[in-house]
Amino acid sequence: MATTFRPPDPFDRQLKKARELALLFLGEALPDGADSDALRNVADELSRLIGKQPGKASFKADRLSAAERRQAGLKLSRRRYDKLFRLAGRLERRAVRLAREEEKFDLILIGKAALASRLKIEDFAGDVPSAAFVAYYSARMKLRSEFTIAGQQRPFDDFAANLLKQCETQAGASWWAIAHVFPRADVLARLTDDQKGRLLGQWFDVLQITAARLDEAHRNTNIDLENMIVRRGNDSSTWNLLAGAFNRARDHWIALLDAMGADAVLEIMMPGKVLRLMAGDVAAWHRSSGSGIHPDTLVWRRLPHPWAVLNGEAVCGRSDIVKACLDAGVTPQSGGWISPRERTSIAVFRPTPELVHGVAVHNPFLATYLRQAGVFSGKGLKVEKL
């Protein structure tokens, strides 16, 4: 399984061809760059050079006539003008597509590792323990999912807890950087009001963007919002990635409001969690084990959809979620429905397949001891043998 998340592919070939044609036909150089902003700049500049209005690319209605081309000072044949006109229209459309994919990639990273991807080196203020905690904890959040009905590994394990203790002993610890991935009350209490407000704004932006994408996803692929089980034609991968980003943003947003003493806002507006789509075989596994439908699904059915709450089509506050939970037989404080997720319990460290593989390849001597401890068997560690 890939250990990195593949970013959107840039339109390098199309940009190269646009620059070649602009130099050949117009004698003009186009801007550099390969991201969506650069692609949009290239399209806008090419449109300006040939007298095309940005955003208008109808081959029938928006092209310049021969007289209009002469008036604009374009010494191009109709064939060359048409080629550049079509190219500018394609670049505009692809810039929109690339921007959407870049936005989706950002949301994927947020769903996996909170705002770690937005941190800059200066945010750590030169504090190594802070950087170590953020690096390790965000890596733990990105562990691949396990095929199980018993829950996934928790990222806050004993090693992460020790790294956090080390940060607490440092006068120069960067709690600003740590709060990007670990919004526990004692961490947020160390931030200034300005820092809390900046994080709050970032997380609410993520909530709005992700909610709009979820609304679009369920409409375009006909998702079963009643049972939340994958059926033919659903883009379950995109939905689950967006759901992860939304729930991560919601959790941090609630934690920040609570830390700022502004949790009264949640009585007025508090969207519910977004459930992931479950594979049919996992749903059957739940039924065969006697657990039946997940209680969170019953809460989900009773609440307005989160995107409807965020765009003002529906009203949902904390009291509405409490009532939905009680009606479904769910404790409101559990599962992050009305409060930030608990981050005090410490999970036991378990070696991942990637870690074990790396040790086996690069350090056979250490691998011998790990084998004696039962690491390679996938069972519990036999620490007494080490």
- pLDDT tens sequence across 244-277: 999 999 999 999 999 999 989 999 999 999 998 8
Residue 129 clears pLDDT 90, i.e. is over it:
yes
Rounded to whole angstroms, how far apart are CA atoms 238 and 236?
A: 6
Q: Any idea of the CA torsion for 314, 319, 323, 325, to the nearest 10 degrees?
A: 90
- Find the mean pLDDT for residues 161-185: 94
* Helices 193-221, 78-113: inter-axial angle, 10-degree rounding: 120
Q: Which range has the top average pLDDT, 82-96, 166-180, 222-236, 327-341?
A: 166-180
Domain boundaries, the chain: 12-111, 114-182, 200-349, 353-385
Phi/psi region, residue 205 (left: phi>0; alpha: psi -120 to 50; beta: rest), is alpha
The predicted-structure confidence for 13-41, as pLDDT tens digits, reads as follows 777 888 888 877 777 787 776 678 888 88
Q: Over 60: is that where the pLDDT of 3 sits? A: no
pLDDT at 323 over 50: yes
Contact call for residues 183 and 252 (beta carbons, < 8 A): yes
pLDDT tens for each residue of 281-290: 565 655 665 5
pLDDT tens digit string along 64-119?
888 888 888 888 888 988 888 988 888 889 889 989 999 999 998 999 899 999 99
Range with lowest mean pLDDT among 25-34, 111-120, 198-207, 317-326:
25-34
Instruction: State what percent of residues in the chain have pLDDT above 70.
Output: 83
User: In whole numbers, what is the pLDDT of the chain averaged over residues?
Assistant: 84
Under the banding of pLDDT at 50, 70 and 90, the label for residue 376 is: low
Amino acid identity for residue 5 in this structure? F
Spatial neighbors of 5 by CB under 8 A, at least 6 apart, are 105, 108, 109, 112
**pLDDT at residue 310 greater than cutoff 60:** yes
The per-residue pLDDT for 205 is: 96
Global confidence as pTM: 0.79
> Has residue 148 got a pLDDT over 60?
no
Say yes or no to pLDDT of 344 above 50.
yes
